[in-house]
């Protein structure tokens, strides 16, 4: 009994700490599905444009530890998005575009957060494709090749996206544009909490836009969905050298009652107390990795892994236009 009381008190303290962090304004960024176009092992680089046509876009992400509301130094941010025509690199052409994009790497890359917890990418404003509005995907890891602590997407103000859609080359996108509020992912996966802040770089849209977003993550996260302040994190401490210490206490107390008709009733009550403490310390050097095929990249899974959401990374990778016909486009 004493052990159980101690464990319950420990859980209470963790919950209180979590609520305090939420009250301070550090609400977790929503976990949003990975989608079918992720490719692991992309190059570490800031400019991911590769001569793709479009409105110039500078992306600045600040990665913040939700438990401390402080920035995270040395985290790896991996992003990818479609072209102005709605096509993702590496995959076969789609949305009416005839040229193949197989084995290419445009609009993909990784960066490591600096001493201010910031990564900067130079790209183009993303286009759209059937069923999806303008958006950018990202994954965040503790270190190169380390645990995925966030899988998400950012969205854009609808008025800005409409202005972009009226310019070349976006006017050549053959897909009917899905608006922000009718986008399935935005509507069902807390997309309103993932809208970025954008401003013009110069006096006109053609000069480019600056897009910023704070990515607030739980450094102890590695499975399930934690939208907003819905789950208390395990205690964690992250240093600039990407050394993480984690400790967690778990209590399992299942109670099962089974009744069988017509004359037999069975009742079983089981109480289990499990205390687990793990304190791994891992330091990994940041190194660039060449692009690899999807099956060769990290098979991380974020979000809820249901209904073709983050679990889509387990889907077979499309290699031809024919392979994509029966695939639900995300």
Separation of CA 306 from chain center: 15
Architecture of domain 9-233+279-324: Sandwich (2.60)
Confidence category of residue 145, pLDDT binned at 50, 70, 90? confident
Name the H helices within 115-194. Answer: 158-165, 184-188
CA pseudo-torsion sign 40, 46, 50, 55:
positive
More confident of the two residues 151 and 284: 151
Q: Averaged over 25-36, what is the pLDDT?
A: 91
- pLDDT > 90: what percent of the chain? 52
Residue 313 has pLDDT above 60, yes or no: no
Q: Averaged over 114-143, what is the pLDDT?
A: 97
What predicted TM-score, i.e. pTM, was given to this entire model?
0.63
In this prediction, residue 4 carries a pLDDT of 56
Q: Are 52 and 272 in contact (CB under 8 A)?
A: no
Give the best-scoring range by mean pLDDT among 107-116, 256-265, 320-329.
107-116
Residue 113 has pLDDT above 50, yes or no: yes
Q: Averaged over 60-81, what is the pLDDT?
A: 96
Q: Are 170 and 54 in contact (CB under 8 A)?
A: yes
Residue 188 has pLDDT above 70, yes or no: yes
Domain residue ranges in the chain? 9-233+279-324
Q: Which pairs from 99-105 meet CB under 8 Å and 24+ separation?
A: 102/319, 104/50, 105/42, 105/43, 105/50, 105/291
In this prediction, residue 95 carries a pLDDT of 53
Separation of CA 262 from chain center: 51
In this prediction, residue 103 carries a pLDDT of 80
Q: Averaged over 151-156, what is the pLDDT?
A: 98
């Amino acid at each position: 009994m004493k052990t159980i009381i101690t464990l319950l008190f420990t859980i209470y303290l963790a919950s209180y700490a979590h609520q305090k962090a939420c009250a301070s304004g550090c609400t977790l960024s929503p976990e949003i599905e990975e989608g079918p176009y992720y490719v692991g092992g992309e190059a570490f680089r800031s400019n991911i444009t590769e001569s793709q046509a479009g409105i110039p876009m500078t992306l600045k992400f600040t990665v913040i530890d939700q438990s401390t509301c402080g920035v995270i130094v040395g985290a790896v941010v991996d992003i990818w998005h479609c072209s102005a025509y709605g096509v993702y690199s590496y995959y076969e052409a789609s949305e009416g575009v005839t040229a193949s994009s197989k084995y290419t790497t445009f609009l993909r890359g990784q960066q490591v957060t600096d001493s201010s917890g910031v990564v900067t990418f130079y790209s183009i404003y993303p286009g759209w494709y059937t069923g999806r509005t303008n958006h950018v995907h990202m994954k965040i890891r503790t270190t190169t090749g380390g645990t995925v602590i966030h899988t998400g997407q950012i969205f854009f103000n609808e008025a800005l996206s409409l202005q972009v859609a009226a310019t070349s080359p976006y006017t050549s996108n053959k897909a009917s544009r899905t608006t922000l509020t009718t986008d399935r992912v935005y509507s069902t996966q807390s997309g309103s909490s993932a809208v970025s802040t954008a401003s013009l770089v110069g006096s006109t849209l053609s000069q480019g836009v600056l897009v910023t977003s704070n990515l607030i993550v739980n450094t102890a996260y590695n499975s399930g969905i934690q939208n907003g302040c819905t789950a208390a994190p395990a205690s964690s401490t992250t240093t600039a050298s990407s050394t993480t210490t984690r400790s967690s206490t778990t209590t399992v107390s299942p109670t099962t009652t089974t009744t069988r008709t017509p004359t037999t009733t069975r009742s079983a009550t089981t109480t289990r107390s499990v205390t687990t403490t793990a304190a791994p310390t891992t330091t990994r050097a940041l190194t660039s990795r060449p692009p690899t095929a999807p099956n060769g990249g990290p098979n991380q899974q974020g979000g809820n892994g249901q209904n073709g959401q983050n679990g889509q990374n387990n889907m077979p990778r499309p290699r031809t236009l024919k392979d994509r016909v029966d695939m639900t486009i995300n």
